[in-house]
């Protein structure tokens, strides 16, 4: 799909379709390609733009993510979003900044790409040029990542590790799984911030001779926002690590208590078993074997030894 936008009085508006696709693209300031089909790629490449494939965008080398292709500056970052099945995912997004307009290529749906057109008029960078649209998009992206990190922090506040005075074993297991998912999310959000910061640094190199005023100040502010969010991500990671340690400690404590109870219960039966074993020997002469109350005496000895062991365990606070 291709979404073409042009400036309006209040922000960015969709370029009306239905005509020549080439004219539609030439009239746009921002062209957004979502999982483009071959015909759509051909329409864009007819303007002299080389559209990177998903495999190209997934290359880990910096030279394949941040580079210049003639007059086109290509910046690739990794962002959270939704796949075609509306499931959360992370994927690359390429920004192609040409002398005339901005192209974005993506194969999933980060939320800022759906909301920025309506919010472009509120952007601190403005939307009058392709570089300002790029910085406005980055501003929306950074704000979205900040919201996601805040959501992780709120989720951590709801964990039962400290809220419930006596969490059960199944609750602790669920908490441990949730902490693992949140740790993975924070790691991916920090990775996204790292790629955004790298893209901004590369973008800033082209502003040395730029005549548009205020872009460098906006760029510096966004870099500082990324760094501040990275620090907040480290704080969330430390919180997750602490909660994980506490949860594992509670699980170990619960298992220790259960093992201790089972051990004491097993010890309770040792003295009665000893008495029964002695009087169960098949020897002709056993003291008290012929006593008329021998059975009662042995029974009292077994009960008394078990009771004595129980009282000793309670006194020692083993139970």
Contacts of 237 (CB under 8 A, 6+ apart): 183, 186, 187, 190
**Residue % of the chain over a pLDDT of 70:** 91
Residue 28: what pLDDT?
85
pLDDT at 276: 81
Closest C-alpha to 143, from 225, 263, 265: 225
Sheet of 12-14: strand order equals 12-14, 2-7, 30-34, 102-106, 88-97, 72-82, 66-69
Classified as helix, coil or strand, 104 is strand
Q: DSSP character for 205?
A: G
At 170, the pLDDT band (50, 70, 90 cuts) reads confident
Residue with structure tokens 């005023």? 213
pTM: 0.78
- Residue with the bigger pLDDT between 186 and 288: it is 186
Judge residue 47's burial from the number of C-beta atoms within 10 Å of its C-beta, 0-12 exposed, 13-18 middle, 19 or more buried.
middle
Q: Please, are residues 131 and 215 in contact by the beta-carbon 8 Å criterion?
A: yes
- Of residues 314 and 168, the one with the higher pLDDT is 314
Residue among 125, 155, 288 at smallest CA distance from 217: 125
The residue with greater pLDDT, 224 or 58, is 224
Q: Is the dihedral of CA 19, 23, 29, 32 positive or negative?
A: positive
Comparing 112-116, 134-138, 234-238, 286-290, the range with the smallest average pLDDT is 286-290
User: pLDDT averaged over the chain?
Assistant: 83
In this prediction, residues 140-166 reach a mean pLDDT of 83
Within 10 angstroms of residue 229's Cβ, the number of other Cβ atoms is: 23
SS3 for 163?
Answer: helix
User: Of 18, 53, 49, whose CA–CA distance to 31 is shortest?
Assistant: 49
- pLDDT for 161 beyond 70: no
The confidence score (pLDDT) of residue 23 equals: 74
Residue that the structure tokens 């699980």 belong to: 251
| Residue 225, pLDDT score | 92
Q: With 90 as the cut, is the pLDDT of residue 258 above it?
A: no
Considering only residues 244 and 21, tell me which one the structure prediction assigns the higher pLDDT.
Answer: 244
pLDDT band at residue 18, thresholds of 50, 70 and 90? low
Pick from 90, 142, 84: nearest CA to 116: 142
Burial 15-33 (b: 16+ CB within 10 A, else e): beeeeebeebbeebbbbbb
- Which residues are CB-neighbours of 108 under 8 A, at least 6 positions away? 81, 82, 83, 84, 89, 91
Specify the higher pLDDT residue, 311 or 290. 311
The confidence band for 163, taking pLDDT boundaries of 50, 70 and 90, is: low
Closest CA to 232 of 157, 150, 112: 150
- pLDDT tens digit string along 171-221? 778 888 888 899 999 999 999 999 999 999 888 887 765 566 678 888 889
Q: Is pLDDT above 60 for 61?
A: yes
């Amino acid at each position: 799909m291709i979404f073409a936008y042009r400036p309006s009085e209040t922000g960015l508006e969709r370029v009306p379709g239905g005509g020549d696709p080439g004219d539609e693209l030439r009239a746009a300031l921002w062209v957004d390609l979502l999982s483009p089909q071959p015909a759509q790629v051909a329409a864009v490449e007819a303007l002299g733009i080389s559209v990177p494939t998903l495999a190209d965008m997934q290359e880990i080398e910096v030279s394949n993510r941040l580079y210049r292709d003639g007059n086109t500056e290509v910046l690739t970052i990794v962002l959270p979003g939704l796949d075609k099945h509306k499931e959360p995912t992370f994927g690359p997004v390429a920004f192609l900044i040409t002398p005339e307009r901005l192209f974005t290529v993506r194969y999933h749906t980060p939320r800022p790409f759906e909301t920025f057109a309506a919010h472009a008029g509120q952007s601190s960078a403005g939307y009058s040029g392709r570089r300002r649209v790029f910085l406005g998009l980055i501003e929306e992206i950074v704000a979205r990542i900040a919201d996601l990190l805040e959501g992780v922090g709120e989720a951590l506040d709801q964990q039962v590790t400290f809220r419930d005075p006596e969490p059960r074993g199944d609750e602790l297991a669920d908490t441990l799984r949730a902490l693992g998912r949140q740790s993975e999310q924070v790691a991916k959000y920090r990775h996204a911030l790292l790629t955004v910061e790298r893209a901004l640094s590369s973008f800033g190199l082209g502003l040395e001779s730029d005549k548009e005023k205020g872009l460098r100040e906006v760029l510096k502010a966004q870099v500082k926002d990324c760094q501040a969010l990275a620090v907040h991500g480290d704080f969330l990671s430390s919180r997750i690590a602490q909660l994980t340690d506490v949860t594992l400690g509670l699980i170990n404590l619960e298992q220790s208590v259960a093992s201790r109870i089972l051990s004491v219960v097993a010890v309770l039966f040792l003295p009665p078993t000893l008495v029964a074993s002695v009087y169960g020997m098949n020897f002709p002469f056993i003291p008290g074997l012929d006593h008329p109350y021998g059975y009662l005496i042995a029974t009292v000895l077994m009960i008394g030894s078990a009771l004595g062991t129980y009282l000793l365990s309670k006194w020692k606070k083993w139970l």
